[in-house]
Structure 1
Amino acid sequence: MVVFNLSMFRFWKRPSPNVGPGDLEIGLGGGYSSSLADDDVVIPHPPVAEDVPSELEAGIDPEAALENIAPHDLEAGHVTTHRWRRVRTLKRASVAFYQVVICQMLRRNRTGTVPDQALVHDDHQETEQSSNEASTSGGFGIGVEELVQLVKERSLEALNRYNGVHGLSNLLKTDLKVGIDRRDDEILLRRNAYGSNTYPCKKGKTFWYFLWRASQFSHLLVIMFAAVFFSLLRIKTKGILDGWYIEACIVLVTVFHIIAIAVAEYKQSCRFIKLTEEKRTVYLEVIRGGRRVRVSIYDIVVGDIVPLKNGCQVPADGVLFVANSLKVAEQEVTASDEIVQKDLQTNPFLLSGSKLIEGIGTMLVTSVGMNTEWGLKMEVSQKTDEEKPFQGYLKWLAISASWFVVLFASVACSIQVGGYFSGVTKKSDGTPMFIYGITTADEAIEFVITSLSFGIATIVVAVPVGLSIAVRLNFAKTTKKMRKDKVLVQSPSAFERMGSVTTILCHQTGIVTLNQMSVVDVWAGGIRMQDMDDVSQLPTFLKELIIEGIAQNTNGSVVFETGVTEPEVYGSPTEQAILNFGNKLGMKFDDARSASLVRHTIPFNPKKKYGGVALQLGTHAHVHWKGSAKTILSSCEGYMDGANNSRAINEQKRKSFEGTIENMSKEGLRCAALAYQPCELGSLPTITEPRNLVLLAIVGIKDPCRPGTRDAIQLCNSGSVKVCMVTDNDGLTAQAIAIECGILTDASGRNIRTGAQFRELSDLEREQIAGDILV
């Protein structure tokens, strides 16, 4: 069984027009830093050999410095004048090479991390004061090099030199609550000062490259050579007026053929470069002007405030100023497989390219693009054009067929010419075509030309040199047609994989469904409401508790714009659905958050399926919990009724709640529950698990199926391609969604397996049922 997994790709944006490949081709020397200040653009620091003492670097006389150097500091164990001369010669050569060669290339290929207004270095006018001024950019209180060094050191001592995160934000002119200004000129100022969040990308080939490559095909060279050779022979036999035009037409057709191949390949290259750029575009939320704004990852600038949650990738280097149980995987950057705990006291530094495994946090961006650790890795590790399996097979097929055709044409041509000169070849009257001493040289040359033309024509026509080109052109044409059906082919090799697919695994959220969630069913106050206009009639105290939990126990936000009736809601689709439910209850988001003080946050745990927040309200405290309905219900000992009273949950009532959850799940709804725990202030730090909760509400969240999904699945099934759905939802919810979209035809449940059920089976049992699993 061949399985194709429709997964999310991660991507990085193309470089800005200022970014060139020059820095990539140069690479990084041992003493060359990728974080360039303005004056460093012209004269970067040369590499220094490891055995060059610091006294030599400072300009001290080498022989005078010998007295202070222990013998074990040098490789040979002792120092000689001759050795110092060699070292000094090495240094001068390094300086000369860097100044003459690399500096010239840097001028031509300046990267986007260096401002366009970079100052030219002047050795005669450099002073300590100008050096300090150069370290700052765009009127900010800290420069690029200092920020890069801060994250590179990753030490609290270095951060404390700037008075911590708050002092650093002041230098970057960033308000940690409001963020930076949203105006375009402010964003441009920061981008010019600290660079853009782009990375080197392999440049596309020019048209001239494809033209040159198309002209390198051996069969075309044979045609051109034969045309010139035959033209000379015909001119000799027929004269200058009649002996050239046939071969000239052949040459002209060959030139048109080369141009056609080059144009086709160039267009295909441009098309897939554009598709790659679209694939790399990723959006995330930042805080600008006091509100959450959705921007491209490449529009992030130094000074931005970026909220982070589990599962997301860190978009730039930065420093945390809010962290709750934050765990990060940095193997993409540091090659370490360990999960790193991040907190404000010991390790608040985040590296671009790392991934949040658990927890939530908010960071201040300090470095972007090529000034980050990830940028350095991107500079030295570029994607290469590796041959795909199907392309390799086509190439092997073409070469094998070519040798066979050349052998056949050579044998046929040799037999024809040999038969002619041996007298075997006869005319129509039965006499030999060639009679020694009678047949003229022009007649013999004409026959040889005809025979060679036959052999060359056989080679040109039969050799499948254009096989791979024809396949690629067909791929390009098919890709264009598929885009009309809203199918984006990101790589031509996808056709190779999909050509042998028998099973498609797709995730429910965002693939089968739209990932546009809304609350459509609610149990609260002892009643079940499927009309969301009725929720405003809930008892006042119960509504206040629900609003308090929704507003404080969330990673999202609600922004009210002046003159706009409907607020803008930000956050994950689930968060947006619950926040919109709070809005229908009459929630004033900012007022609700300011009414209580957050003392402790328990980040949402995907494995445990719950998260919480501890709040101080005067002299008492509430701990609000939100998560999977079944998980939260199992921790509840009471519930709020319609009279604002807390009642105990007996066995009959618990079964009633479980029945409500089951009914919602059968309708394809994702069930979540809201509960709270009243407690004393002194016990807040010890609460990390939900217990003795009071149930406030059970909400059913609808994620509608994507239009056309059912027809697409039926089309796959008609082509003997099985579609399976992977989801983290409850089994009943997954079954209802699978039936709605056409993956399942009945509710028997025989084609559904949970991960826990599958792991309990033996290897033999797994093999027996694997082919029947659809959800």
Structure 2
Amino acid sequence: MTAPQEPLYQTDNPHHIDPDQIIKQLDSPTKGLSQSEAQRRLEKVGYNRLPAAEKEGILKRFFKHFHNLLIYVLLAAALLTALLGHWIDTGVILAVVIINAAIGFIQEGKAEEALEGIRKMLSLQALVLREGRWVEINAEELVPGDRVKLRSGNRVPADMRLIETTHLQIEESALTGESMAADKSTAAVAADAGIGDRYGMAFSGTLITTGRGIGVVTATGIHTEIGRINTMIAEVEKIATPLTRQMNSFGKLLSVVIVGMAVVMWFIGWFFHEYTVGELFLSAIGFAVAAIPEGLPAIFTITLALGVQRMARRNAITRRLSAIETLGSVTVICSDKTGTLTRNEMTARHLVTAGDSYEVGGTGYAPEGIITHQDHGDKALNFKEHPEVFNLIETMAVCNDSEIVEKDQQWQVTGEPTEGALRTLAAKAAVDDSHYERVATIPFESHNKFMATLNRVADGELMIFVKGAPDQLLDRSSFQRSTANGDEPLDRSFWEDHVEKLSSQGLRVLAAAVRPAKEGQDALNISDIDSDLTFLGLVGIIDPPRPEAINSIAICHQAGIQVKMITGDHAGTAVAIGREMGITETDQVITGTELEKASDEELHQLAKDYNIFARTSPEHKLRLVKALQANGEVVAMTGDGVNDAPALKRADVGIAMGIKGTEATKEAAEVVLADDNFTSIERAIEEGRTIYDNLRKAILFILPTNGAEGLVILTAIILGIALPLTPVQILWVNMVTAVTLALALAFEPPEPGVMERPPRQPGTSILGGIFVWRIIFVSILIGGATIAIFLYERSLDLSLDMARTLAVNTLVCGQAFYLFNSRYLKRTSLKPGRLIANPAAWVAVAVLACFQLLFVYAPIMQLWFGSAPLEARHWLIPLGIGAAVFLIVEAEKLLTRRWL
């Protein structure tokens, strides 16, 4: 990507500059720019749009699946067999390679479209002042200095400094992570204020929820906040997954060993025996084909694909196969707060009157839950006995412009979220405000922080209802509503103590007050509520934690996984939610300002020591993910806003919310949660651990097959005897065991206690010493039995084709019985319940038996693979050897459990 062009009239920290000064710096005339001046600036700065994402071509995406050293060795083997005229061998080898690539290509799906997702957020049209007239133009044609009119329901088309506002609120959660719409004004703020605190700015791509305003464009295209995030996403380097790194290292080592041994074997045959060059080449090819687990990449892909399907049934859509395995390696989950750990639905939790405090049940906008006295457990409050509580809720309902509606079995708010929480509170209390005729209104404004309505109540009396910030209403109140004695003098210190208490818990606190109106009054002015109000009480509102997420976090901790909250919200709210969810037990929190000042080394320590990070920007989230990775952690990052997208892309696993997540976030992530439920992350990690176990089982199962075959070929060359297995027969064994027996391991259920063990350490070998020993042990066991049976039957004058057929059956039967050993890595498989726990294993054995019968008795198979029909006794030998293999390996597992 080319470096972005410097913007015309660049202004540093426009949020810190007064509107008049901004207008001068950007040379923005009162009548707006002329068309010629706008065109000149457009030619200089460029269109107000983001650069298109570069996409991989379809051929590149397909052929990258051949980029594997083991595959290169197989392709070389295919070329040699073709040169020698062994076309069946060539065809089988190429078929295996192509099928593996096709599976990977289909399952990987389309390439990332994160930048395209962000472009879809941008506004299409803008109402701009040009030459003294307001005209609607394509938003791409906006330039710095343009004056733009903002209206409720529209998206902000560019970054701009606000110069006029009327009840303007903008929903900025995609950029800041805050659940509540931000109140906007024209006031300047500190130069180092975070995005969420820049009240005099409107940012491109955010949504205007209420009010109107006028702003002067300060940045367009790539220079906007959303453009800056776009650039960050494009520049973020995606790191390889732990298993990918392990498999690449494993493949390189295995390739070097196999090629080296094939060369040694060739020279042994040349110098010590009278093999022809053609026979030696075939033997070397046979050894390479035998030793290379060509079915492993396909089994790897299929296992992950099956895991993707299982995860989809559990509401986690996996966009990239490798992510599902990486989840099993996760050591840290970095989670956004709003909409991820919380519901992103404001809820009234606490009520305080002069008499007492009360709790409100239920979460979100659904009118479900009861109001209880904080000391009386589950008993619903009787409002006849507590009229002061009814008065408090009544005022919050009457002085309210929102509505809650049920749509598609989900309750939604029409209007401002905080007012929606109060409307739900009224519904829980069965307060019906439909008969309160509204006569006049003072709407909420950011400078006075309250709303007031003049209403005619049921008996015809006129009442003034007020709700707003507690300090504003306390300043205007002389009395408070008492439980027993009606109205009494205001006890301001009492209310301030409760405001501080609720605020410390991360709640947004609103107050309510009333006073009678004058008879015949038909208008409402500020002077009408400047004094003598009766203070009714407080309501504490919060975006509540998801109850199921609390349990999931506890399970993650039990599994040795750290959970860290990284949010754009205020520190107090973040700590309160973090404590309630079990993420932290302290009040310790690191803010974005502190992160900004920290060096990389200091940040590594902060990322390790702290679990709550508040008022963070996209850069902070990205730096934290990098710091954790530098500490050796495998990081999963969750989020739903555009501000989360760079960190999601950088993380080992990016997890986006499917319902409330932006398109940009979904495209930057590897996993999308269809239900926006943190619990699905915990389930995904369990699935990832199971898949990793199953992949280890597949490797532990497949490699002894290859080891046994390689041992048979190597022994034959050293002894100077006829090959017990031909290359095409080796491919047959590899193919049928991979598509039947090895595939059955992909269906293995989780082993007991999978979420009770700590994550595997990053960099740990995929097998480890004990499993390497088992591979060698089983290879010698099965390979030794195979060559012994071949030599024994040849000594009894059995034909070469029949002896080879018997050797193939011995290999296959040994693998079939060993499958049941491999289903449990360390535990015994002898228990009846474990033997039948995976029906797919028995189906695989039955299918394999059918394949072997065809191999032995079908004339066409005899022609292609050089097999020969066997007598009945020849079936008993392989079955007996297979049973012996099973019992011997179980004995080995018992000994290693006791001694190691």
Band of TM-score, shorter chain: 0.3 to 0.5
Which structure has more RCO (C-alpha within 8 Å, separation ≥ 6)?
Answer: 2
* TM-score, normalising length: structure 1: 0.45
* TM-score, normalising length: structure 2: 0.40
Answer 1 or 2: which has greater helix percent.
2
